[in-house]
Amino acid sequence: MGLFDRFKIFSKKEEVKNEEEIDKYDKGLTKTREDFVNKLSILGIKYTKIDEAFFEELEEILIMADLGVNTTMSFVDKLRKRVKEENISDFYYLKEVIVDELMLIYVNGENLSSKINFNNEGLTTILFVGVNGVGKTTTIAKLASKMIKEGKKVMLIGADTFRAGAVEQLKDWANKVGASFYGKDESDPSSVVFDGLTAAINEKYDVALIDTAGRLQNKVNLMKELEKISNVIKKVTEREVDETLLVIDASTGQNGVSQAKSFSEICSVTGLVLTKMDGTSKGGIVLSIKDTTGLPVKFVGFGEKEEDLMSFDIEKYIYGLFKEW
């Protein structure tokens, strides 16, 4: 049974919320699907047999969808092998193989979860990293709002004291979503984190969401700063940071993959948040970034509203990408 058949059965059994999520993936991946799937469909009409010319054009389509050169080459090699071993000549069957193999790029035999690693015995600390302009601050606000609606007591800590107005912006968001806030302009980020976490523990907060500076030009300085912040978190909470989430603008394509590599060298990233997925035709970045870095995608953003930021689901992603194929 193919993925689409499984998904149809799966979706019928699920509640309304799940149907709404499927719809979000459907609409959010429209630009990628229209560009990517249309080209794949033409490929099936253009070639009467699955030969080397077919594979070469498939490679071009996948690279254009931002699957990345290395990921694409590896994927097409696996496809060639399966076509030869299974003697595949039917394009309809090949479509199922392509979809399944693309899904395997992300799963890769791992038991992946998009769930946040909450500390059930005290304060959960979530550190947000990423360059400026990717939607880091609004992502923090959206997650805070979601957690508050789930009954959690949330504090936002503004440790991005480098960018002018960053602390005030986060404070405004805290007021909008009903979260508490701690931050000081022109202060040492580590001291802000220390004081904020101390207050959060004393006042029995469930979650602290920590914003950090977004500069990547000087890796050494950023590495030192994030290392210092991590040490402060460990000192105050007596445990490691629960999550370090890297926020990436999906529309930047392979530049986003480069950011993921760079930040992974700087700090212990535990998961990714891909924003602005609805505004790009290069949704293949999800598979490329996982294949390149091994990091799971925790959340994807399909718009400006709070409900447009969703926990990542690989089956819904694949379904949204290929439903019209």
Q: What are the tens digits of pLDDT across the range 37-83?
A: 888 889 888 988 899 999 999 999 999 888 889 999 999 999 999 99
Burial 31-52 (b: 16+ CB within 10 A, else e): bbbebbbebbeeeeeeeeebee
Indicate the DSSP class of residue 97. Answer: H
Tell me if 272 sits within 8 A of 260, measured CB to CB: yes
As a whole number of angstroms, the longest Cα–Cα distance in the chain is: 69
Tell me if 167 sits within 8 A of 160, measured CB to CB: yes
- Tokens 């299974």, residue located: 86
Task: Report the alpha-carbon distance of residue 198 to residue 23 in Å, rounded.
Answer: 42
Question: What sign results for the dihedral spanned by CA atoms 21, 24, 30, 36?
Answer: negative
Environment class of 241 (CB within 10 Å of its CB; exposed 0-12, middle 13-18, buried 19+): buried
Q: Which domains, ranges and CATH numbers included, belong to the chain?
A: 3-107 (1.20.120.140), 124-313 (3.40.50.300)
Classified as helix, coil or strand, 272 is: strand
Q: Is the pTM of this model over 0.85?
A: yes
- Tokens 């699955």, residue located: 50
**Which two structure tokens, joined as six digits, stand for 120?**
């059930």
Burial 293-309 (b: 16+ CB within 10 A, else e): bebbbbbbbbbeeeebb
**Which two structure tokens, joined as six digits, stand for 306?**
């709070």
Each residue's pLDDT expressed in tens, for the chain with a length of 325 residues? 555 555 554 445 455 678 888 999 999 999 988 888 888 889 888 988 899 999 999 999 999 888 889 999 999 999 999 999 999 998 889 999 999 999 999 987 777 778 899 999 999 999 999 998 899 999 999 999 999 999 999 999 999 998 889 999 999 999 999 999 999 987 899 999 999 999 999 999 999 999 999 877 778 888 899 999 999 999 999 999 999 999 999 998 889 999 999 999 889 999 999 999 998 888 888 999 999 999 999 999 998 888 899 999 999 999 888 887 7
Mean pLDDT of the chain: 90
CB-based contacts of 325: which residues, under 8 Å, 6+ apart? Answer: 37, 40, 41, 95, 99
